[in-house]
Structure 1
Amino acid sequence: MTTLIIIAKETIAGRVKTRLHPPLSLEQAAVVAAAALADTFTAMADLQATRRILFFDGNRQPLGSEPYEMTPQPSGTLDERLAAIFDASDGPTLLIGMDTPQVRASDLAPAFDAWPDDVDAFYGPAHDGGFWALGMADPRGDLIRGVPMSRDDTGAIQQQRLADAGLRVSLLPTLTDVDTIISAREVARIAPDGTFAATLAGFGQLS
């Protein structure tokens, strides 16, 4: 069975989703980020994970994270932090972020119903060129460490790392990360019944 890791940061104004400002205030952007994380917890509740870890940058445990083990993020760049949690993991492990509140349990089911014998890694590409999910049957931080993050070629470089290591990679659905107000509106249209969409609508940002 598979360990699920969600990487997230505390939703403090000025620290999360700052690219939504403007048109949102920094306080509103933080509320939207909290809604995205809440929807992610809700969607993941149906997965048959053997272990759940919240890889967290912050102090106040978010609502909905009660089934998760809290593991603090170390210092360092994002690639170093991701590498650290994979190095600390044992057995099939899959990590997602908090920026895809439209995610559904069915998107990740192939890694949790029973990890296939012919798959070494799962990779979820994002429309912006990054990735929203990464899983390995045998977690190795060295396959992440050194990958440049937050670039439009991040995903391609990460996927090539996996291929160069000889891993058999299975692709998950391509999703949109919430980074800007345009992508936030797109995601809200995809998942109109979630807390994220309702929050964005409450701030008058769905038109």
Structure 2
Amino acid sequence: MSASPTILVVAKAPVAGQAKTRLAATVGDEAAARIAAASLLDTLEVVESLGWPVVIALTGDLDEAARADELAAACGRHRVIAQRGESFASRLTAAHHDADAGHGVVQIGMDTPQITVEILQTAAAALESHDAALGLAEDGGWWVLAVRSPDWSSCLATVTMSRHDTGCRTKEALVRGGARVASVPVMADVDVWKDSHSVASLIPHSRFAAEVARAADHEEIGSQP
């Protein structure tokens, strides 16, 4: 693949009460939304530095989100498309097709603010000799799916999302469909409070780490796990 792939960021507007509900169970709705907003901003900063075309597949209302002005500015520098489909899997597949510009798609979410340029380049480089590249998440899901053609993402319709074995099932579905699948290093994603601490420790000077520290200092959270 001679041209740069499109990087697709699948995102949900970080609106209090709607974003990161598992995290919110510990830190509260407002703090969870601020952490999610910081995570998305940090993610967009990394992908911008790649110099690849960026597409953001968004659901929710950014006007109601935490750090709305910053997010509007960051998203405004890129092509933003609405997520479409009845299920999460169908929305992912549709986003791959909507984002594709003929040079492959590298799709991530907004829950891995510790991503680096190098690891995204690794996923893209794998498409030189493979049909897809998949990076599993520590919780059993996956954090990146890179495909040479958006048609490979159609296999997601056969995979149940948000399970402890979603990552393995996704790889099996790709292989069953005939794809040559490369592996990208495993990475943690942020679902619960414990995840936030471990990820923040990897990027101590980030917006994300600052919001995690702010939440940790709140008197209602203190020493909660």
With normalisation by structure 1, the TM-score equals 0.92
Counterpart of 1:163?
Answer: 175
Which residue identity lines up with residue 95 of structure 2 in the other structure? I
Aligned match of 1:81 in 83, 91, 96?
91
- Runs of 4+ residues deviating >4 angstroms: none
Larger helix percent: 2
Further displaced range: 26-35 or 79-88? 79-88
Distance (Å, rounded) in 1 between the aligned partners of 2:116 and 2:46:
5
Question: What is aligned with 1:66?
Answer: 76
Q: Secondary structure at the match of 2:27?
A: coil
Matched pairs, number: 205
| Partner Cα separation in structure 1 for residue 86 and residue 25 of structure 2 | 28
**Which residue type is aligned with residue 56 of structure 2?**
L
Hey, what does 2:29 align to over in structure 1?
A: 26
In structure 1, the residue matched to 2:66 is none
Give the letter for the 2:74 counterpart: G
Moved more, 123-132 or 136-145: 136-145
Checking the alignment, whether the CA contact within 8 Å between 2:127 and 2:146 is kept in structure 1 is: no
Q: 1:90, 1:138 within 8 Å by CA — same for their partners in 2?
A: no
Percent identity over the alignment is 33
2:165 counterpart letter in structure 1: D
- Structure 2 residue runs of 5 or longer lacking an equivalent are 64-70
Q: Is the 8 A contact 1:90 1:139 kept in 2?
A: no
Q: How far off is 1:24 after superposition? A: 0.7
Partner SS, residue 197 of structure 2: helix
CA distance in 1, matches of 2:176, 2:155: 9
Cα RMSD (Å): 1.8
Which residue, 101, 106, 117 being the options, matches 2:113? 101
Instruction: Give the unaligned 5+ runs of structure 1.
Output: none
- Asked if residue 46 in structure 1 is aligned to residue 49 in structure 2, the reply is yes
